[in-house]
Amino acid sequence: MVLGEQNGFATRGKLLIAFSIADGREMWRWDAHAPGTEVFAAIANGGCMVQTPTALVEVDNATEAKEIFKGKAMVDWRCQLLRKTN
């Protein structure tokens, strides 16, 4: 689970669930169609980045999502987004 300024986000299986921090009410769900999807970070626009098994994806609401890049992501100590390589 991660918390943004007004929204919180959690994953369950292949679903990303957005909820209101104020009252805990579910706001929307996004289906990644990929088991093992994990919350990565809340972002300034009120959306969330999730790590699927194959890509990092920015999800803005139940119907708007875009792939940031293929592969796994990580954040370094300076808060820079990096692509993880093995």
Structure pTM? Answer: 0.88
Model confidence at 86, pLDDT cuts 50, 70, 90, reads low
73's tokens:
């992501």
Spatial separation of the C-alpha atoms in residues 69 and 24, rounded to whole Å: 31
- Residue linked to tokens 């919180």: 8
Spatial separation of the C-alpha atoms in residues 19 and 10, rounded to whole Å: 8
Spatial separation of the C-alpha atoms in residues 81 and 78, rounded to whole Å: 9
pLDDT tens digit sequence for 18-75: 999 999 999 999 999 989 999 999 999 889 999 999 999 999 999 999 999 999 999 9
CATH number of 2-84: 2.40.10
